[in-house]
Amino acid sequence: MRISEILAVALLQASAAWSSPLESNAIEARSNRPHHPIKPHHLGKPFPQSPDRTKSCTVKANGNGKDDSQNILKAIKDCNNGGHVIFPKDKNFTIGTALDLTFLKHIDLDIQGTIQFTNDTDYWQKNGFYQTYQNATTFFQLGGQDVNVYGGGTLDGNGQVWYDLYAKDIYILRPILFGVIGLQGGSIEDLKLRYSPQWYNFIANSTDVVYSNIDIAGGSVSSNVAKNTDGWDTYRSDNIVIQNSHINNGDDCVSFKPNSTNILVQNLWCNGSHGISVGSLGQYVGEVDYVKNVYVYNVSMSNASDGARIKVWPGSASALSGDLQGGGGSGAVQNITYDTMVLSNVDYAIEITQCYGQKNITLCNEYPSNLTISDITIKNFSGTTSKTYDPLIGYLVCSSPTVCSDINIENVNVKSPSGTNLYTCGSITGIESQVNCTTNGTKGGNS
């Protein structure tokens, strides 16, 4: 062998000995960004491309329950604008400080370990980020441009202390576990969300965001129920996809709040919820609420109050509870499709109400809702309802036929425990030719 060849081999061996361990460690520490396709349905609008990240930062865990917020913030700032932040596997991180992360740009947050928020209720009530709508607050707010969060790890809201506190005082401000606020382009994928004090996800003032493979769970272990634990709430947001997820909660599986447009929800398993809900809308006088262009496809709904649900406040003020009251707002619900839902032990397969929060139907009809409901399609439902409203399987009541139109229900093969498929119907033109109506039902809007 020539000397030059010997030197070349030696250099290659030295290079391999020096670089391989580092490359191996980097590969082991850094998750590959998931690429869950948006299917079988797609909103049609292309989502922004997210370029590869060129640098990595690892978050140090202090351990022993010490606040890791400053370590997290430092790693994120160091890797903002093109980086990949790693929360290592088998590490536990504690957040005891509210983090404003709305400055993010071109960054991946790779959460492999567990992040738990402290149970300091006094601190979080004073320092959580106030989101205005329905007194919502969040532990942190994540926003900016081109942000991806994934890694297979867990976010834990330490909810039990909040469930117990809320049972004593309904006016406390309970933080939402995951707040996406003002995000333009991004994805939240492959995460486990546990024990949120209130809603699990709040998407506000955001566009072009995809959620895939999210696992939500966490009830109370005391006699105080975990309340208002919606899976997702969208608000003033456009072009949002929520798909391929498992939700075990105690309120709406997904809820489309005011000014949600172009939303796709598909391939969900929901248990213990209040259904896939449009609303509530029209809560605040002087505000215009609209939800338009929503497609819900392929949902399994078990042990829930509702399957498909549209809930609108009446034209006059009413109070559902001390911390939830309103009515008198205006707006529109338009072009909403529920396609393919399998129900098991669900109180109502379908519920449309414009008397949300008002149990006095006569009063509600005297002050019809200021919101219109139109171009609604509900189709391809199967399964069984619970005993709660037997022999009824649905509630389809508007406050006036002038504000409800073009509501189409087809191929709904759902039975009550008695084997019936009756609906309470009222003030919806043409509904009697589509479903089996009875006018004997007396129920108003529920929570």
pLDDT band per the 50, 70, 90 thresholds, residue 206: very high
| Other residues' Cβ atoms within 10 Å of the Cβ of residue 70 | 12
pLDDT of residue 364: 75
Strands 276-281 and 254-256, bridge-based pairing: parallel
DSSP state string for 84-115: EEEE-TT-EEEE-S-EEEEEEEEEEEEE-SEE
CA atoms within 13 A on the CB side of 101: 30
pLDDT band per the 50, 70, 90 thresholds, residue 370: confident
pLDDT band per the 50, 70, 90 thresholds, residue 7: very low
pLDDT of residue 22: 31
| Other residues' Cβ atoms within 10 Å of the Cβ of residue 27 | 10
Question: How big is the chain by its Cα radius of gyration, in Å?
Answer: 24
- What mean pLDDT is reported for the chain? 91
Give the C-alpha separation, 119 to 96, whole Å: 8
The two structure tokens encoding residue 269: 């398993």
pLDDT surpassing 80 at residue 113: yes
Q: Is the distance from CB of 304 to CB of 231 less than 8 angstroms? A: no
228: left (phi over 0), alpha (psi -120 to 50) or beta: left
pTM for this entry:
0.91
- Find the range with the poorest average confidence among 87-96, 188-197, 437-446: 437-446
pLDDT band per the 50, 70, 90 thresholds, residue 322: low
pLDDT surpassing 80 at residue 42: yes
pLDDT of residue 89: 96
pLDDT of residue 229: 97
The two structure tokens encoding residue 394: 């649905």
pLDDT band per the 50, 70, 90 thresholds, residue 10: very low
The two structure tokens encoding residue 406: 């073009």
Percentage with pLDDT > 90 across the chain: 79
Q: Among this protein's residues, is 274 annotated catalytic? A: yes
CA 135 to chain centre: 17
Q: Domain extents for the chain?
A: 79-438
Q: Which residues contact 202 (CB under 8 A, 6 or more apart)?
A: 131, 136, 138, 176, 178, 179, 180, 181, 232, 233, 235
What are the strands, taking DSSP E only, across 177-275?
A: 178-194, 201-204, 207-217, 232-235, 237-248, 254-256, 260-271
Smallest CA-to-CA distance from 117 within 102, 142, 98, 135 is with 98
Residue count of the chain: 447
Superfamily of domain 79-438, CATH level 4: Single-stranded right-handed beta-helix, Pectin lyase-like (2.160.20.10)
Smallest CA-to-CA distance from 227 within 293, 160, 291 is with 160
CA atoms within 13 A on the CB side of 291: 28
pLDDT in tens, 73-82: 999 999 999 9
pLDDT of residue 18: 34
pLDDT surpassing 70 at residue 27: no
pLDDT band per the 50, 70, 90 thresholds, residue 5: very low
More confident residue, 365 or 102: 102
Edge-to-edge strand ranges of the sheet holding 137-138: 129-130, 137-138, 175-176
The pLDDT of 43-48, averaged and rounded, is 93
The pLDDT of 38-45, averaged and rounded, is 96
pLDDT in tens, 207-261: 999 999 999 999 999 999 999 999 999 999 999 999 999 999 999 999 999 999 9
Give the C-alpha separation, 244 to 182, whole Å: 24
Active-site entry in 41, 84, 106, 274? 274
H-state helical runs in 30-142: 69-79, 121-127
Q: Is the distance from CB of 336 to CB of 294 less than 8 angstroms? A: yes
Q: Residue 24: in which H helix or E strand, if any?
A: helix 3-29
pLDDT band per the 50, 70, 90 thresholds, residue 320: low
Q: Is the distance from CB of 290 to CB of 331 less than 8 angstroms? A: yes
pLDDT of residue 131: 95
Give the C-alpha separation, 34 to 188, whole Å: 10
pLDDT surpassing 50 at residue 285: yes
